[in-house]
Structure 1
Amino acid sequence: MLIEIARFFASLASYDRFRSRYSIRGVMGPDEFHSGYPHAPYGGVDNNAYTNIMAVWVIHRAIEALDLVPDRYRAELVDRLRLDAEEMVRWSDLGRRMVVPFHDGVISQFDGYAELSELDWDHYRERYGDIRRLDRLLEAEGDDVNRYRASKQADVVMLFYLLSADELRDLLQQLGYGLEPEAIPRTIEYYLARTSHGSTLSAVVHAWVLARGHRDRAIRYFEQVLASDITDIQGGTTAEGIHLAAMAGSIDLLQRCFTGLEVRGDRLILCPQWPDTLGTLEFPIYYRGRQLWLKVSGRSIEITAESGHQPPIEIMCRDSLVVLHPGSSVTVS
């Protein structure tokens, strides 16, 4: 499946001789507002940064997965899928020469984004109040959202939700682009100011990406996620069906975002950032076949392991490394 997904994205890319890079043209990114350009509103956009970067990411993962398969099975798989050397060479080339557009020190949502008009956000908020479905408001005025630097939900910002800063920086470096540390918060703030949050999932993504540097703002978006169906924040859509992805996103924010929970190699990584005003956050997880209990208070976390004969677990929290043995507890901060 991974190989076929990589094949699909590779098939979308065409070589741009002027840029000496590969382009993916005529797509709609996660934003969903931009179905095309002002002169061709239904033709899609070119080189959506999220699409191009994630295409490269999946191609790299497919190559890595093939390398992990034992030689005998790998030969059978390659033969069955008719994956020849020429195709692999093209994948490798795509992984080094895909277009990623930039403008004004930020990652561009797509080619030509910087040429679009700026929207008077204050005017529309003052006039309509709720501008989540900005596209419909503009359409009612005889206008088109394709003309503006405006997003329904996270698009470029999705990159910071799915990839760590190091992963994204490494991908861009392999493509020949630089991404200085200050470019990340600058890019997030740039698009945050141009997003109407017309989807319940937008609050999930923005809560996540703001959690490290702007915890208070992240909690406000988290509260929006929790209220999605309870208060029917989109004004009638809950009756048509609950927003299950936003519900799952709220659990993910608790389990992984506000705890900094991730796995790197053979270590469990934690970096808690939970508001003290919300009390203690407690929940169990399963890690490599064993149950652990996590108790989070502010920037500290207590981890308790069930009894048994399993090997100890290495846990990293910020710059501290501790070892958790079966039937014991450790606290890190």
Structure 2
Amino acid sequence: MSKIYQVTGIGLNEKNLQLQETIFHNANGYIGVRGTLEEGVPADFDTMRGMYINGFYDIAPMKQAEKLCNLVEDKESMLNVADTQTIEVSFDGQKFSMADDADCRYVRTLDMEKGITRREVDWSNKEGKQLHFNITRMASFEERSLFTIDYCFQSIDFSGTVEIHSRHLGLVRNYFNPKDPRLAGESHNHLKKEDVHICESGACLVSSTVESHLKVASAVANIVTVNQKRQPSEVVTYDETAHAMDVSYRFDIRPGDEVRIIKYSIFTDSIREEDCRNVADEKLSKVVEQGIASYYKKQQEYLKEFWNNSSMEIVGDRDLNESLCFNMYQLLQSAGYDGYSSIAAKGLSGEGYEGHYFWDTEMFMVPYFAMTNPAIARKLLEYRYKTLGKAKENAALLGHKKGALYPWRTITGRECSGYYPSGTAQYHIDGDIAYAVILYYKTSGDWEFIKEMGLKILLETNRLWLDVGNYYKDRFVINCVTGPDEYTCIVNNNYYTNASAKYSMQWCLKFIQRLAEEKDAYQQFVKENDLTEEEIQAMKEAEEKMYLPYDETLGINPQDDSFLQKPIWDLEHTPQEEFPLLLHYHPLHLYRYQVCKQADTVLAHYLFPDYQDKETEENSFRYYEKITTHDSSLSTCVFSIMASRLGLKDKAYYYFGDSAKMDLLNTHKNSKDGIHAANMGGSYMAIVNGFARVQAEEDKLFLAPALPENWQGYHFRIRYHGSLLEVSVNKETCSIEQLEGTAITVELYGKEYVLEAANQKVEVPYQEN
């Protein structure tokens, strides 16, 4: 699989500028840097110039037209924390700018084995003198606070004076677009000057947030060499009003001379560090001393291990391989790794959705990491455990006497959704997080995590289900909630929500029963969580009597109690320019029709296959595919998975389609705002859980691979209970090999096998199904 992605071009093209800023961003789970140009762009160009820290935020007002009880009136927003990207170079007074040479040729490269991006430019000044630029950027996985720019240029036939300005701006603003609900609607000044410090290695600027009172430190050092000889003469100026540092150099060069500027940027914050300024100073001294070559080497070593666990290839489809590789790499770049953060909807690549975490993480990204890098999956769930207290506070604000309700969109655990019908009312977020906890356990076998964190999450979210639901005609019902389909809001008995609640209760009871076998641990858990036998019995009864809607006439699971009473939206005659519908129709108008934004009941059928028979699943699938717009990027991958499960190979491939290439092809026309991280996880699931039909249970791994007609074969690696496995499928055979680990049980095409040690392999004839 190719781990190189390249774009070539001539001149500066405003139309694809922001898309390239997204695709060529650098991130490592802690910091994210948009792929903007060091020299900047003309003032009339639209650019989103940003540097972000995962989980770092300020509070912005979110005014409600009517001040009803406990409606959210402010929100957390991920901040553009500083700008250390700027490097301006002038040649006899003319600044290097791709906009000033319409014929300049460039190549932009994302190297996913080295963990770098590169921009190479052949540029001529107004006298026609030529220079070659080679600019490499890296967000380090070894030192997560480190971002580097390795800026090199060579004179081809230019002689004259070079002037370099390396800038460091401590006060920046976020991008905003009042016409798009997925972005901030107005600009706010979130940062103020806190401190400036000149240290031996460089300069450190400390800013603080206006409302959340957090601090961020950005420390920068510049090393400039000409023909590999250090240029010591620099001029440092500080603009107190702008809270900005400028380090400048001036010298002469001749044809053949090579100039290299290594710019080290360190970011630290007060969420993670008590004294972020001193920590930034110390880290900057360390990285400058160790040198950039050391960090390049460690970056490659880290990624070698990552790809060893995540390897995947589709035989005979180069473009798809390139896209899948890109998607997996972006998920790695986006993933919070320290328990203080999660994965934002746009990762760390842009400001779409203001850096908020949604259900996307647990339903579409945790499954990827659970199968490839369980340590990251655990940390993502640890973040939810750390915010459990705020989820309990959120539940209380909504009138619940017991339990925890996780917020629909958040950074720290507070609800940041202002439009509650399609936000806070999505109570299924509790079921989604519970599902991810259970999936992680099934895949990893990590019982200690369940005892320490997972069971507490399940207990508190199930307490919420007991409080929000009630009995009607001896059935447990859940009213006035919204399911995943945001074109249908505030309904009774959303099938997906009820099914996820039932599943969560089943497993919570199962975990409690297992914990009871460890007498001391069980007694401690009961005491710490005030768990009573009456509560256990209440959970058991609610689970058994959970109402799951079913329509006998159509033989389907209705999306909710009233869904089938509504007229069906005429999608066939809706003009293409009116999609996505959410941007062209009032919400109430959408709510009165049978029209789905994304998979809802179909997703429930994939996640909870034991709650209905296959005939009902297929009837429901065919019903909902006629009324689903797939306006959400989370939708087609689910339809692909479910089509695979139903044996509908053509439909599975159709829905898989270009979803894996969504950002590289910009199919939703908004990748400029950031990647579609959940779709990236979903495209991985469409192959592993869809085509290969991988299903992890606590004591066995199930597979029944199918091969799309357009593919010659495929293979991928996954982890299960500590073992690293490689699955290979072609038109003749299907095999699973244990590369490392201890004994595990697998079921392949319905037959059970035990892989007892490394290098053991099971190979069987490929079976059409």
What TM-score bracket applies, with the shorter chain setting the length?
0.7 to 0.9
**Does 2:568 correspond to 1:118?**
yes
What does residue 659 of structure 2 align with? 225
| AA of the residue aligned to 2:541 | D
Deviations 1:129-175 (A, max 9, x none): 25542243333xx97011111110011111122123xx223xxxxxx
Deviations 1:311-333 (A, max 9, x none): 4x443222333444532322123
Q: CA deviation at 1:187?
A: 0.8
What does residue 148 of structure 1 align with? 593
Q: 1:123 to 1:143 in 2, by over 3 A?
A: farther
Q: CA deviation at 1:4?
A: 0.7
1:129 alignment partner, one of 576, 587, 600: 576
Deviates more, 1:56-65 or 1:84-93: 84-93
| AA of the residue aligned to 1:203 | T
Deviates more, 1:23-32 or 1:260-269: 260-269
| AA of the residue aligned to 1:68 | R
Identity %: 27
Listed as ranges, the matches of 1:125-274 within 5 Å are 128-129=575-576, 132-139=579-586, 144-164=589-609, 167-169=610-612, 180-212=613-645, 213-235=647-669, 237-274=670-707
Q: 1:329 to 1:130 in 2, by over 3 A?
A: farther
CA contact (8 A) 2:595 2:627 kept: yes
1:98 alignment partner, one of 532, 539, 546: 546
What does residue 760 of structure 2 align with? 328
Give the whole-Å Cα distance in 1 for the aligned partners of 2:747 and 2:563. Answer: 41
Q: 1:322 to 1:100 in 2, by over 3 A?
A: closer
Give the whole-Å Cα distance in 2 for the aligned partners of 1:320 and 1:314. Answer: 10
- What secondary structure sits across from 1:122 in the alignment? coil
Q: 1:272 to 1:79 in 2, by over 3 A?
A: same
CA contact (8 A) 1:132 1:152 kept: no
Q: 1:262 to 1:320 in 2, by over 3 A?
A: same
What does residue 510 of structure 2 align with? 64
- Please report the TM-score for the alignment, with normalisation by the length of structure 1: 0.83
Q: 1:258 to 1:300 in 2, by over 3 A?
A: farther
Deviations 1:35-79 (A, max 9, x none): 2xxxxxxxx111111111111111111111111112322122112
- What secondary structure sits across from 2:488 in the alignment? coil
What does residue 174 of structure 1 align with? none
CA contact (8 A) 2:482 2:491 kept: yes
Q: CA deviation at 1:263?
A: 3.0
Give the whole-Å Cα distance in 2 for the aligned partners of 1:77 and 1:184. Answer: 39
**Does 2:749 correspond to 1:318?**
yes
Q: 1:105 to 1:306 in 2, by over 3 A?
A: closer
Q: CA deviation at 1:226?
A: 1.3
Give the whole-Å Cα distance in 2 for the aligned partners of 1:84 and 1:307. Answer: 43
Give the whole-Å Cα distance in 2 for the aligned partners of 1:307 and 1:102. Answer: 45
CA contact (8 A) 2:735 2:763 kept: yes
| AA of the residue aligned to 2:513 | D
Q: What is the RMSD computed on CA atoms of the aligned residues?
A: 2.2
| AA of the residue aligned to 1:7 | R
CA contact (8 A) 1:276 1:297 kept: no
- What secondary structure sits across from 1:46 in the alignment? coil
- What secondary structure sits across from 2:735 in the alignment? strand
CA contact (8 A) 1:13 1:24 kept: yes
CA contact (8 A) 1:24 1:47 kept: yes
1:7 alignment partner, one of 456, 463, 472: 463
- What secondary structure sits across from 1:296 in the alignment? strand
Deviates more, 1:319-328 or 1:276-285: 319-328
Listed as ranges, the matches of 1:46-61 within 5 Å are 46-61=492-507
2:483 alignment partner, one of 29, 37, 47: 29
- What secondary structure sits across from 1:148 in the alignment? coil
Q: 1:67 to 1:33 in 2, by over 3 A?
A: same
CA contact (8 A) 1:49 1:110 kept: yes
**Unaligned residue ranges in structure 2 (runs of 5+):** 1-456
Q: CA deviation at 1:223?
A: 2.1
What does residue 173 of structure 1 align with? none
1:75 alignment partner, one of 519, 523, 529: 523
Deviations 1:267-299 (A, max 9, x none): 332101122431221222233333222211147
- Please report the TM-score for the alignment, with normalisation by the length of structure 2: 0.38
Give the whole-Å Cα distance in 2 for the aligned partners of 1:100 and 1:168. Answer: 8
Q: CA deviation at 1:264?
A: 3.7
- What secondary structure sits across from 1:102 in the alignment? coil
CA contact (8 A) 1:33 1:152 kept: yes
What does residue 345 of structure 2 align with? none
| AA of the residue aligned to 1:121 | L
CA contact (8 A) 2:556 2:620 kept: yes
CA contact (8 A) 1:131 1:137 kept: yes
What does residue 41 of structure 1 align with? none
CA contact (8 A) 1:275 1:298 kept: no
Give the whole-Å Cα distance in 2 for the aligned partners of 1:132 and 1:74. Answer: 53
Deviates more, 1:142-151 or 1:206-215: 142-151
| AA of the residue aligned to 1:8 | L
Q: CA deviation at 1:266?
A: 3.5
Give the whole-Å Cα distance in 1 for the aligned partners of 2:474 and 2:724. Answer: 51
What does residue 172 of structure 1 align with? none
- What secondary structure sits across from 1:111 in the alignment? coil
**Unaligned residue ranges in structure 1 (runs of 5+):** 36-43, 170-179
Q: 1:201 to 1:327 in 2, by over 3 A?
A: same
- What secondary structure sits across from 2:658 in the alignment? helix
Deviations 1:236-285 (A, max 9, x none): x2111110111111122223322122234533321011224312212222
- What secondary structure sits across from 2:635 in the alignment? helix
Q: 1:34 to 1:230 in 2, by over 3 A?
A: same
Q: CA deviation at 1:23?
A: 1.9
- What secondary structure sits across from 2:634 in the alignment? helix
CA contact (8 A) 1:271 1:299 kept: no
CA contact (8 A) 2:726 2:736 kept: yes
Which one has a bigger Cα radius of gyration?
Answer: 2
